[in-house]
């Protein structure tokens, strides 16, 4: 999945959903960034990080796929540092659910 496809999936899944407001910088270490704006219900692919996000997530595209496919539990990924999260974990949890849809 490309960054743009991931951004499009998140944007589509955000529509008609009640989510908290905030900005998330999803950094796929081997691909780039996806900026998720929960206030505007949009996501876009980007080359650089987002300034002043509420949450920052760093993960490889391989580990993201494993989480999305149910092969890696998010809590185990956090404990083994396969995913790094800073900021509001509730926002990150909401976006994680949207990526599985």
Q: What does the DSSP assignment read for 20-70?
A: ---EEEEEETTTEEEEEETTTTEEEEESSPPSS-SEEEEE-HHHHHHHHTT
pTM: 0.87
Query: Along the 101 residues of the chain, how does pLDDT read in single tens digits?
Result: 899 999 999 999 888 888 888 999 999 999 999 999 999 999 999 989 888 999 999 999 999 999 988 999 988 999 999 999 999 988 888 777 777 66
Could you tell me the residue range of the domain that residue 34 belongs to?
3-58+85-100
Position 91 in a domain: yes
Position 71 in a domain: no
pLDDT, position 100: 66
Number of domains in the chain: 1
């Amino acid at each position: 999945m490309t960054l743009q496809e991931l951004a499009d999936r998140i944007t589509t899944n955000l529509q008609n959903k009640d989510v908290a407001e905030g900005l998330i910088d999803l950094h796929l270490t081997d691909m780039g960034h996806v900026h998720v704006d929960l206030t505007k219900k949009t996501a876009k692919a980007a080359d650089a990080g987002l300034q002043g996000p509420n949450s920052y997530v760093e993960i490889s595209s391989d580990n993201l796929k494993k989480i999305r496919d149910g092969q890696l539990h998010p809590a185990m990924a956090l404990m083994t540092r396969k995913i790094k999260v800073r900021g509001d974990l509730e926002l990150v949890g909401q976006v994680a659910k949207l990526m599985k849809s």
